[in-house]
């Protein structure tokens, strides 16, 4: 009887002892996350870099060092340079549109109006939908023959008759024509990322102290003045977070292009991820695929560091 | 004097809201109209596409549920989502607390490090990870996705929760410890209940990220019975060159609308999570 009590007491003492030791608890709590990330991000990342300087393929997995040959080889192909250009163009243009629209949307959604709940539901839908399924919806919306947009244009006599503004043909063939296909991809990126960016910006707006806004009101500052001189500077740090998120999601996405155009017409809407996928997974050229996939990492890292630094600097002031 | 301008302002507000709603929702509207249409009605370009020229039909829903693997994809996605949420919470809650309170000065740097991991997108890692998955014998199995998805969700969740934990006053824990709680029990009994919004935000975000993920699911899994909704629907409900548009649209709408509703219900918490996690963290 006495023994069990002492054992129990010892055990609780021991528990009490280590559960109070910060120097043990800290690393212990962090350990699983660090191991996981090293094993499944760190090591694969090193493998990717190793692959990119060897001649490895899915059939022959021995690693023979070839230096920068893969990079030189891929840089020579038109498909690669086109993919690189597209990736940069799609990303930059869509991010600019997103950040402007997200600011407007966040301002609207932080005011009160009738039917706000429903409006918010509709606006959030694109973000809640898996992007591959959303893109399927767009694929049908932009169908070469049955697009309802074309039908509306024909109805308004803007398309499909002689002398019509948009041409005599019955359809616009959104995904078959280069400029329209590129524009469609950008529209889908904007459509998808706008809700998340707006939500993050709303979080920023709600964190602005109310007395500051009241003071501005008392001082007679109007809507624009309040926005540009109070709200905007205060939400700049979180705006950079929003930008970073939508940037990562846009650069890291291949579903839109894969489902919508498969890189076509020909390979003119190909982006780096889809190109790397075709090379690395579908044709088994692991080395060239890795080199293609890795190409954007330095750019992404530089942008991320810039954004993080910027968000901290603005936080101090 | 003020009433007319206020009225104009309101009208302007509703106008802008309507434009945004239309932009966001039009693909879904188009999905819902399409999914009930008969072939003869749908494939006539002269027909008004926005109305039912012939009576609506449920036959395409029937096809989707009874003659395709749609339900299998759904089950796989939910199974993966639930398990990944659990793994993410178990790993990232302690890690975030550790970074916020326990490891001190280099905690902040490690926090930034973890956030940087988030910047390594799946499109960069899928080639080496496909080899890792093969060597573990997990290729063609949804377990490969359960293994890999936390690499996307842990960094984000840890970062968000870290901000959350930081925003809770230290006095609370100290008071609890004066009352005789240990560091660990004060974390469980005092900090965790105050962090519910953060945990909810993490659950909502993690689940949607796994539901949306496309690259890994496409690269690692090729057998139909193991596919997720995100890859299964666009790759398998298209047979050769034949698109079963009504069934495809039904599949997309059936997934999108419930998830959208749940998201909207938790949106305030998500915003709160971001405010605490990202703004103040």
pLDDT of residue A207: 80
In this predicted model, which residue has the larger pLDDT, B32 or A264? B32
Secondary structure of residue A147 in the 3-state scheme: coil
- Taking the CA of residue B218 and the nearest CA in chain A, the distance in Å comes to 10
Report d(CA A180, CA A203) in Å as an integer.
Answer: 35
- Domain locations along chain B: 2-57, 68-279
Cα torsion A122, A128, A132, A135 to 10°: value is 20
Q: Which chain A residue lies closest to B132 (C-alpha atoms)?
A: A44
B54 to B34, B48, B57, B60: CA distances (angstroms): 12, 11, 9, 15
pLDDT of residue A317: 33
Whether residue A47 and residue B128 make contact (CB cut-off 8 A), yes or no, is yes
Q: What is the mean pLDDT of residues B256-263?
A: 88
Report d(CA A231, CA A202) in Å as an integer.
Answer: 11
| pLDDT higher than 60, residue B277 | no
Q: Which chain A residue lies closest to B133 (C-alpha atoms)?
A: A40
**A270 touches A83 (CB < 8 A):** yes
A40 to A48, B87, B147: CA distances (angstroms): 12, 14, 9
| pLDDT higher than 90, residue B252 | yes
Report d(CA A97, CA A191) in Å as an integer.
Answer: 10
Percent of chain B with pLDDT over 70: 95
In this predicted model, which residue has the larger pLDDT, B14 or A313? B14
| pLDDT higher than 90, residue B27 | yes
Q: What are phi and psi of A54, to 5 degrees?
A: -130, 180
DSSP calls for chain B: -HHHHHHHHHHHHHHHHHHHHHHHHHHHHHHHHHHT--HHHHT-TTS-TTS-SS---SHHHHHHHHHSSHHHHHHHHHHHHHHHHHHHHHHHHHHHHIIIIISTHHHHHHHHHHHHHHTS-HHHHHHHHHHHHHHTT-TTSHHHHHHHTHHHHHHHHHHHHHHHHHHS-HHHHHHHHHTT--HHHHIIIIIHHHTHHHHHHHHHHHHHHHHH--HHHHHH--SGGG--HHHHHHHHSEETTEE-HHHHHHHHHHHHHHHHHHHHHTHHHHHHHHIIIII--
- Domain range B68-279, CATH class: mainly alpha
pLDDT of residue A316: 39
pLDDT of residue A210: 84
User: What is the reported pTM?
Assistant: 0.89
pLDDT of residue A12: 65
**Peptide bond before residue B144 is cis, with ω within 30 degrees of 0:** no
pLDDT of residue B175: 85
**A197 touches B272 (CB < 8 A):** no
Report d(CA B13, CA A39) in Å as an integer.
Answer: 50
| Complex ipTM | 0.89
Which parts of chain A have pLDDT scores under 70? Answer: 1-19, 311-317
Residues of A with Cβ-Cβ distance to B90 under 8 angstroms = 32
Q: What is the mean pLDDT of residues B196-223?
A: 89
Whether residue B267 and residue A272 make contact (CB cut-off 8 A), yes or no, is no
DSSP calls for A218-251: HTT--HHHHIIIIIHHHHHHHHHHHHHHHHHHHH
A30 to A21, A278, B215: CA distances (angstroms): 14, 37, 28
Residues of B with Cβ-Cβ distance to A37 under 8 angstroms = 114, 117, 151, 154-155
| Number of other CB atoms surrounding residue B175 within 10 Å | 13
Report d(CA B6, CA B276) in Å as an integer.
Answer: 34
- Domain locations along chain A: 80-316
Q: What are phi and psi of A305, to 5 degrees?
A: -65, -40
Secondary structure of residue A20 in the 3-state scheme: coil
Look up residue A156 and give its DSSP letter: T
Whether residue B103 and residue A30 make contact (CB cut-off 8 A), yes or no, is yes
DSSP calls for B17-72: HHHHHHHHHHHHHHHHHHHT--HHHHT-TTS-TTS-SS---SHHHHHHHHHSSHHH
Q: Which chain A residue lies closest to B213 (C-alpha atoms)?
A: A130
The fold for domain A80-316 equals: MetI-like fold (1.10.3720)
Report d(CA B208, CA B259) in Å as an integer.
Answer: 8
Q: Which of B17-21, B104-108, B139-143 has the lowest mean pLDDT?
A: B104-108
Structure-block tokens of residue A126: 């694109």
Whether residue B123 and residue A111 make contact (CB cut-off 8 A), yes or no, is no
Please write the tens of the pLDDT for every residue from B73-124.
Answer: 999 999 999 999 999 999 999 999 988 887 766 776 777 777 778 778 888 8
């Amino acid at each position: 009887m006495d023994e069990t009590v002492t054992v129990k007491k010892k055990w609780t003492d021991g528990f009490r002892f280590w559960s109070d030791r910060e120097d043990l608890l800290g690393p212990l709590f962090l350990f699983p996350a660090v191991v996981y990330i090293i094993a499944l991000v760190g090591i694969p990342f090193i493998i990717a870099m190793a692959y990119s300087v060897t001649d490895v393929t899915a059939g022959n997995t021995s690693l023979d060092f070839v230096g920068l040959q893969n990079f030189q080889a891929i840089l020579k192909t038109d498909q690669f340079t086109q993919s690189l250009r597209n990736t940069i163009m799609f990303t930059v243009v869509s991010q600019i549109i997103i950040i402007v629209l997200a600011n407007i949307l966040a301002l609207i959604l932080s005011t009160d109006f009738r039917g706000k709940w429903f409006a918010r539901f509709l606006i959030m839908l694109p973000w809640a939908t898996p992007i591959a399924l959303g893109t399927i919806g767009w694929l049908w919306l932009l169908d070469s023959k049955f697009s309802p947009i074309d039908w509306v244009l024909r109805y308004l006599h803007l398309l499909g008759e002689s002398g019509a503004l948009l041409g005599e043909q019955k359809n616009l063939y959104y995904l078959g024509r280069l400029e329209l296909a590129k524009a469609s991809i950008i529209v889908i990126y904007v459509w998808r990322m706008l809700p998340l960016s707006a939500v993050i910006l709303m979080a920023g707006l709600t964190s602005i102290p109310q007395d500051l806004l009241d003071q501005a009101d008392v001082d007679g500052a109007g809507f624009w003045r309040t926005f540009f001189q109070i709200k905007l500077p205060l939400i700049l740090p979180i705006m950079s977070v929003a930008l970073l998120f939508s940037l990562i999601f846009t650069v890291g996405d291949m579903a839109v292009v894969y489902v919508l155009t498969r890189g076509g017409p020909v390979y003119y809407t190909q982006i780096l991820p889809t190109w790397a996928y075709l090379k690395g997974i579908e044709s088994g050229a692991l080395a060239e695929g890795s080199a293609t996939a890795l190409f954007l990492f330095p750019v992404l890292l530089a942008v991320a560091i810039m954004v993080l630094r910027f968000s901290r600097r603005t936080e101090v002031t | 004097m003020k009433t007319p301008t206020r009225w104009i302002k309101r009208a302007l507000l509703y106008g802008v809201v309507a434009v945004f709603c239309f932009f966001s929702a039009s693909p879904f509207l188009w999905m819902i109209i399409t999914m009930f249409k008969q072939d003869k009605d749908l494939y006539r370009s002269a027909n008004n596409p926005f109305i039912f020229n012939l009576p609506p039909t449920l036959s395409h829903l029937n096809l989707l549920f009874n003659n395709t693997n749609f339900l299998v994809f759904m089950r796989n996605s939910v199974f993966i989502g639930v398990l990944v949420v659990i793994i993410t919470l178990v790993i990232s809650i302690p890690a975030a607390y550790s970074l916020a309170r326990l490891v001190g000065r280099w905690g902040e740097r490690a926090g930034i490090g973890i956030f940087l991991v988030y910047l390594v997108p799946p499109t960069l890692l899928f080639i080496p990870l496909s080899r890792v998955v093969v060597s573990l014998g997990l290729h063609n199995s949804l377990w490969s996705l359960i293994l890999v998805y936390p690499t996307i969700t842990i960094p984000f969740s840890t970062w968000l929760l870290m901000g959350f934990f930081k925003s809770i006053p230290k006095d609370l824990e100290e008071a609890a410890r004066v009352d005789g709680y240990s560091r660990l029990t004060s974390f469980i009994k005092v900090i965790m209940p105050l962090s519910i919004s953060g945990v909810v935000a993490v659950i909502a975000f993690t689940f949607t990220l796994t539901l949306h993920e496309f690259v890994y699911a496409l690269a690692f899994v090729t057998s139909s019975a193991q596919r997720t909704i995100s890859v299964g629907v666009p790759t398998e409900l298209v047979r050769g060159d034949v698109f079963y548009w009504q069934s495809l649209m039904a599949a997309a709408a059936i997934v999108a609308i419930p998830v959208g509703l749940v998201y909207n219900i938790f949106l305030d918490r998500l915003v709160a999570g971001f405010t605490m996690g990202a703004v103040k963290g």
